Amino acid sequence: MKPQIRLAKFALVILTMGLFSLTPSASAVSDCQKAHGTLSVVNNGNGTTSGTITQAGRLNATTQAVFTSSFTPTPEPSTFSFTDDLTLTTVNGALRTHNVGIFNVATGVFSAINRIDPNASTGDFAGATGVLYINGRTADGGATFQAEISGEICFAN
């Protein structure tokens, strides 16, 4: 193995260990709850989507996503990355996330990692942290999307 590759692997391991040490412990945040629900979205055609989350209890919400980047090619020819900001509006406040996603245009499958913004969220979600994951597909070329949403929300005390 080339010395540069070994050095790169070693650096990746050290970086990963460092990131785990920055993760708050479960004892530091006392009110973390699992999230799970169904997301249905319509592409508004203007760089936004809107929809609803159901079967999610406290996270039942209307949604609006605003794309913050255009589709960026990846090494896989039919898969593109993108970023967007998502707002989930519930009866108890708004949860805001910043997202990084990938979308395979050939299969219609997509996935996104959504980091909760504790400073932009309001009501019960003010100060909340955590990550949501969205996995789904479009069956009509991107006019509508169906997905599962899951993750964990840690509410501020």
> Could you report the per-residue pLDDT of 75-109, keeping only the tens digit for each?
999 999 999 999 999 999 999 999 999 999 999 99
Does the pLDDT value for residue 122 go beyond 80?
yes
Could you tell me if 4 and 125 are in contact, meaning their C-beta atoms sit under 8 angstroms apart? Answer: no
Does the pLDDT value for residue 141 go beyond 60?
yes
Residue range 63-80: average pLDDT? 97
The predicted pLDDT at position 11 comes to 43
Please give the structure tokens belonging to residue 114: 């959504």
Q: Is the dihedral of CA 15, 18, 23, 26 positive or negative?
A: positive
The predicted pLDDT at position 157 comes to 75
Domains in the chain: ranges and CATH: 29-155 (2.40.350.10)
The predicted pLDDT at position 30 comes to 62
Residue range 123-147: average pLDDT? 97
Average pLDDT value over all residues in the chain: 87
Please give the structure tokens belonging to residue 22: 């920055």
pTM attached to this predicted model: 0.80
For the chain, percent of residues with pLDDT exceeding 90: 80
